Structure formats: structure tokens, C-alpha cells
Structure 1
Amino acid sequence: MRLLFCLSAAALTLAACSPASDTPAPAAPAAETPAAPETQPAEPMPAVIEAALADAARPEEDRLLDVNRHPAEVLAFAGLEHGWHVADIVPGGGYYARVLSTAVGEEGHVYAFNPEWIAERFADGNAALGELADSRSNMTRVVDTIENFDSAIDAPLDAAFMVLFYHDTAYDGTDRVAMNQAIYDALRPGGVFIVIDHHAPAGSGLTFVNDTHRIDAHTVREEVMAAGFILEAESDMLANPEDDRTGNVFAPDLRRHTDRFVYRFRKPG
């Protein structure tokens, strides 16, 4: 699910100048721009995350993906804690779901959520996910419409993760207003929504969601915040300045090496 850690953010102030005169007038109060989303330096890795990633039961194929996915940094960015109740939205083969399950422990729970169309189109993967969930007492596989997310899982959640899927909702017929509201409603006050996806060119909106599987980060921010979320922090941990953001993410030279944004949205409270 770019632990997502952000660069330090500070509000900029603009000094107002007085008009020239023999007797200078008092300077006008400094005007402040709105505070930018918080950015953060790397922090010590929580022990529960280190232990989950070092778990001998993790498949070797998952471990090989760590170098490009930076799961330790992502989960630390989310603030993941033992005992949390979390959702992995469209978990694929269970890369994050497995680590989340180990990290939150028996006092926590993981909901591995697939929209109905994903479960139908990728039936083998959904079945494998079911086997993973069946093998873990603190994991539940859920299949439903994503607009019904809050009713389909046992809310409230401490966190929801959506990794490399938001762009798909822009062409699969999803009501994204309802989706973001359902995720918001499923989280406890203070809960976090982590979104990771492939950068499209700035200002392109939804233009590339189908052809290259990319989405404009600004569009994601605006849509998620419209549900009531605060964009608390963003990270460049999954950035790749050599990616010009126009190529198909499945092209051999780009696969797993795209320029990706990582956002931490928080439900106020």
C-alpha cells in the first residue's frame, strides 16, 4: 500500500510593504498562505512492522517486491499499530494483507476487501485470497460493491489502504463520491486512509486512467477531501523522477518502477 516519509512542510509568509513616505507607516501584518500538507523525515521503524516483514512465513516472491514497494516505510507512514482494525482494499495476492495481519496481531483484524467485479474478473486470485484469509483467524475476505464498503465490513476501522487501485475506479463505473464517503464512514474519528497510485501528468485529471493506468494526483486529493478527509501528509518514498508519467505502467521498462504518490488522509476527530 510510497513507511508513505514526507518532506518537512512549513507555511510560507509574505511580508507586506508600506508605501514610500517621509514618515514610514507601520508595516501591515504578514499574510500567510494555507499550510501545506505535513511532510516528515524518516522515523524509527516500529517493532511490530519489522517483525511482520521478517516473518519466516512470508513468501519469497513477496520479499523480492519489497525493494520497490517499501512496505516498511509505507506502514510506518500510516502509523500502523498492534491491535488495529484495518482494511486492505483490493489486496491482490495478499502482499499487504499478509503483513498487516501479522503486524496487528490477534487483537487486531484485517478486512481483505474486493469489489464484486474484481472478484469475478480475477476469480483465481480471489480464491487464493480466500485461502489466505481462512488460514488466519484475524483476517476476513469481503466481497461487495465498494460503494457499500462501510456496511460490508465491521466498522469502525483504524485505517484503510488503497494501493494502486484508485485509478481503476475512474473507469469501472464506480460512484467515487459514494466510495469515498463509505470509506470515510467506515473509519473511526482520527482514522487514516492511505492512497498510493501511479502519477499521471499534472493537470490531466482522468485522461490516462484507462490507457496507461495512471491518475492525476490533484484529482485524487480533491475527490477524497470532498468526503471530509484532511490531507495530513504526503511522501515521495515511491517517487521516480526518471518516469515522465506518460507510459503504460505495465510496460516492461516501467513495471514496478513508476513515479507514485503516497497520501495519508485523516478523518477529523
Structure 2
Amino acid sequence: MLTIINKIKCNLNLVIVSAALCSAAALAETPSAPDLAALADHSFRSAEDKARNQYRHPVETLTFFGIQPNMSVLEIWPARGWYTDILAPYLKDQGKLSIANFRVDDGTMQDDRKIFWSRISEKLSQRILQHKDHFGTVSQTEFDPPAYMYLGAAQQYDLVLSFRNAHIWNEQGYLLDVFRAVFDVLKPGGVFGIVEHRASRVSEISSSAVEGYLDESYVIAVAEQAGFTLQAKSEINANPKDTKDYPKGVYALPPTLAMGAVDRAKYLAIGESDRMTLKFVKTVSH
């Protein structure tokens, strides 16, 4: 009788040990979430880019937008890739990053600003290809409203991000069109995260804006017209030092410093612009 009991105990112990080993193996196979803070301070990023973390708050901003490492994410007009350097390694193992870059100059561009955007977009594309260990596989498409409006397949992305682009689309008269294009490529329940230079409020119904700034209520109204619901606002990227009354608008401030040597110390002391940080959701009903 004791022999039978001992055999039963032995078999139970084997089952328990086996189950424990399986659980440990399963945990070992589960990829851990990348550390956003470590990526924001990564040695791959330039010292100049990392110095801007104090103004752009990438970790807090991306966390506010609800980013997860297994998401399908689109970044629109990443320019030199300040955020791309963080987003790509964060998503490369479990998720997917796509960028909608400015279109390549085919020799027919006449606008100096568009030619400049084309050049910096092309440099980013080359850098992504040259540093695959850091970036992984990043899908790229050209985006230049109104002729080039393709952002991807319908309901493709969990999260779409735009950093300091809305004022340009508004200047060109395409803000609503762009927001509608974003709405189409987001999955139901997907998030549209916007960071934008914020104009001064004069009253509840008006604002004062020099070049490069947009009224927050106006941006919200346009997004709602496109079908979005405002889920949350954040003051993560607020800057009360920004008086928003400079001769060259927002471009007088860093990093552009368009005034050159004129009042340079003043603009450096102000830092980067006061910015709205808005989280919109594509409600399931749509």
C-alpha cells in the first residue's frame, strides 16, 4: 500500500515540476515591452535630439496616446525622424511602424519649401535603410496633399501620430481633408494623436495667432467634423514662457531660430513652443 502511495506522490511531483518548467518556458518566450525612456535616451539618437526631450516629452506624450509595442502605427511627415528614432525600435519586434513621408522631388517641384521637405524626407529614408538593426522594417509611403493623399489601407492602423504638421495643412487649405484621410485608415477605436503649436486665446470664441500657431478649439472642431471624438487633452507639452508674438512666428523659437543672431538668447531661454496635445478616437459607431 505504501509503495502505491509513494508512486502516486512521485507522479504528482513530476507533474508539478513539468508544469512549472512549462510556465517558465512560456514566460521566457513572451517578449518584454520595450522601455520608452531608454529609447528616448538611446545612444543612437544625437545629443541635439536628446536635448529636446525636455521640450517634447516623448515618453509622456507617447504614453498619453496609449502606444503599445504590438500596435500598427503611422507617423505622418516625420521630417528628420526625431520621433521615428524612438518609434521604430519600440515597435519593430511586436508591432509595425509606417511613415507617410513627403514625396520625392521628381524635378518638377517649384516650391522651395517643398523641395526642402523632399530632401529631408529622402535623407530619413536612406538612414532607415542604413540602420536596419535600429529601425527594423519601416513601411513608407508618399504624402503630399492634395495630389498624394494615400495613407494606407482602410482601417489599417491602431494609432496615427502627427507632430507639428497641422498648421502647414491648414495654411494650404487641406486640414479637414487630411483628418478625413486619417479617419479612414484608423481601425474602429483607433487613436489619432496630435501635437501642435498652440495660439493665444483672446476670448472663448477667438484667438490670436502669428505664423505657425493654431487655435486649439479650431483643431478640435475640424477633427470632430472629420468624425473623431476628443478623448482627452494634456498639458504635457505646454510652455507658459511662449508669448507667441514674434516677428517670424513660431519659427523664431528653437529649433529653427529663424531670427538668427537677433535676440537669440531670448528665444533660447523661452525654449520650444507652447503646444496642444490632443487624443482623438475613431468611435466604434463609425
What is the TM-score normalised by the length of structure 1? Answer: 0.73
Aligned-partner Cα distance in 2 for 1:184–1:149: 16
Aligned-residue CA RMSD in angstroms?
Answer: 2.4
Q: Which amino acid aligns with 1:108?
A: G
Counterpart for residue 85 of structure 1: 72
Counterpart for residue 111 of structure 1: 98
Q: Which amino acid aligns with 1:191?
A: G
**Does structure 1 conserve the Cα–Cα contact (< 8 Å) formed by 2:41 and 2:50?**
no
- Please state how far the C-alpha of 1:148 moved relative to its aligned partner: 7.5
Counterpart for residue 53 of structure 1: 40
Q: Flag the structure with higher helix content.
A: 2
Deviations 1:174-228 (A, max 9, x none): 2x222111101111111111111111122446x73xx521111111000001111
Counterpart for residue 239 of structure 1: 238
Counterpart for residue 43 of structure 1: none
Aligned-partner Cα distance in 1 for 2:86–2:41: 9
Aligned-partner Cα distance in 2 for 1:93–1:115: 11
Bigger radius of gyration, 1 or 2? 2
Q: Show structure 2 runs of 5+ residues with no match.
A: 1-32, 104-110, 253-263
- Please state how far the C-alpha of 1:89 moved relative to its aligned partner: 1.1
Q: Are the structure 2 counterparts of residues 90 and 199 from structure 1 closer, same or farther at C-alpha, using a change threshold of 3 Å?
A: same
Q: Are the structure 2 counterparts of residues 132 and 107 from structure 1 closer, same or farther at C-alpha, using a change threshold of 3 Å?
A: farther
Q: Which amino acid aligns with 2:276?
A: F
Q: Which has the higher contact order (CA 8 A, sep 6+)?
A: 1
Aligned-partner Cα distance in 2 for 1:87–1:149: 16
Overall identity of the aligned pairs, in %: 24
Q: Which amino acid aligns with 1:80?
A: I
Q: Secondary structure at the match of 1:95?
A: coil
Q: Show structure 1 runs of 5+ residues with no match.
A: 1-45
**Matched ranges for 1:112-127 at <5 A:** 112-116=99-103, 120-127=115-122
Q: Secondary structure at the match of 1:263?
A: strand
Counterpart for residue 266 of structure 1: 281
- Please state how far the C-alpha of 1:131 moved relative to its aligned partner: 1.2
- Please state how far the C-alpha of 1:245 moved relative to its aligned partner: 3.0
